[in-house]
Amino acid sequence: MSNPACLASPQADPAPLPSSLVLLLAAGAGLAVASIYYSQPLLGPLGESLHASAAQVGAVPTLTQLGYALGIVLLAPLGDRHDRRSLIVLKAALLVLALLGCALAPGLGLLMVASLTVGVAATMAQDIVPAAATLASATQRGRTVGTVMTGLLLGILLSRVVSGVLAQQFGWRAVYGMAALAVAVIGWACWRGLPRFAPTTSLGYGALLGSMVGLWRRHAELRRAAWAQGLLSVAFSAFWSTLALMLYQRYQMGSALAGAFGLAGAAGALAAPLAGRWADRRGAAWVTRWGSAVAVLSFAALALEPHWPLAARLPWLALCTVGFDFGVQAALVAHQTLVYSLEPAARSRLNALLLTAMFIGMSVGSALGSAMLAQWGWTGVVALSTLAAAAALAVRLFGRGRLSAPSPRP
């Protein structure tokens, strides 16, 4: 691993990263973001153990997501002002304490406070991704970011499965305890294995946050990436927020079988390293157009599902799910690669702006998806997702000129 005594500078063109360091970054991102999702399979046992209603325990994952969103906006930009290694280690320590707080919480109130803190501290994942982009050479940046994003996506994919299995065997408190232990180990490894990062700005905290407005105005390619990925997130969230209800209404499938469709997230984990390599070879802009096009075709193909023989409908639905998940995640990795090349000294702030657009898109997609399902059924959801993905493709294909001036290559 790299010598912690050295300084990583975004202006340098570093040598290829050791695979052990890339693996450490990927594992750190995955374990951090997994902390957001551990609670979702635990709501039943949580409510029973703490004598809380379904509505009350439902606030636990909501607060965790809220904490993550707040952390992205308020804390992720600090990566440009301070040593990212120190931020990663500090957030890992805070995340360990928050997870232990969840494990030991005697009542719902303290569990909610700890869950909010888990979300805030889990943004260490969004310090790790810009760190990977800074450490990588220009010719390997896409591949490195893609590999780290693979770890992050696997963390999302596997967290619910691991949480459910552990809770069934050892109880819900053990899930948080083991998660705290895993984060403590990865935090120690980051402290030992990551180099220090030279700050790229001396702005105070208020000015640092204010500078994000200037970045948004200055970089048309950032706005283009945010619009395109935000629209893809609308399509993505509209589908996933309504899928379980559709499967129950149309096929009488329970939540366990519906949850199995989440394994399509493996397509996203596969897309990340491939998209990174393609971005290095073909250019990140090409990958964003390709990924958006795959998403459009996959969402549109969902409309054919009711017309297949009954035995083929669920396999077709699963195939389409794999397709659009692959396209959306490929576009995300390419957009990150593009954005990180715009202004190396502001990578943390650029990342925060891109992810804020994603979160807005996810929220809008969830709200619109539920409304479409109630008003026009599953056909309305499919139409919404297809149109949103098509709008993202249009931004990538036709949004040049005023919307997006050419950006310098990394």
b/e burial code for range 106-131 (CB count within 10 A of at least 16 → b): eebeebbbbbbbbbbbbbbbbbbbbb
**Contacts with 320 (C-beta within 8 Å, 6 or more apart), sequence order:** 298, 299, 301, 302, 305
Q: Which of 62, 121, 60 is nearest to 92 (CA)?
A: 121
User: 186, 237, 181: which is closest to 364 by C-alpha?
Assistant: 237
**C-alpha span between 322 and 301 (Å, rounded):** 12
pTM confidence score: 0.76
Superfamily of chain region 212-398: MFS general substrate transporter like domains (1.20.1250.20)
Q: Where in the chain is the domain with CATH 1.20.1250.20?
A: 8-200, 212-398
Give the model's confidence band at 14: pLDDT under 50 very low, under 70 low, under 90 confident, else very high: low
Percent residues over pLDDT 70 in the chain:
89
What local confidence, expressed as pLDDT, does residue 3 receive? Answer: 47
Q: In the CATH scheme, what is the homologous superfamily, with its name and number, of domain 8-200?
A: MFS general substrate transporter like domains (1.20.1250.20)
Instruction: With cut-offs at 50, 70 and 90, classify the pLDDT of residue 26.
Output: very high
| Mean pLDDT rounded to a whole number for the chain | 85
pLDDT band at 283 (very low <50, low <70, confident <90, very high): confident
pLDDT, tens digit, 9 for 90 and up, residues 50-94: 888 767 777 788 788 888 888 988 998 998 999 999 999 999 999
pLDDT digits (tens, 9 = 90+) for 308-364: 887 788 888 888 988 998 899 889 989 988 998 899 889 889 988 998 898 888 878
- pLDDT above 70 (res 268): no
Q: What is the rounded distance in angstroms from the CA atom of residue 141 to the CA atom of residue 342?
A: 13
**Is the four-CA dihedral 292, 355, 125, 142 of positive or negative sign?**
positive
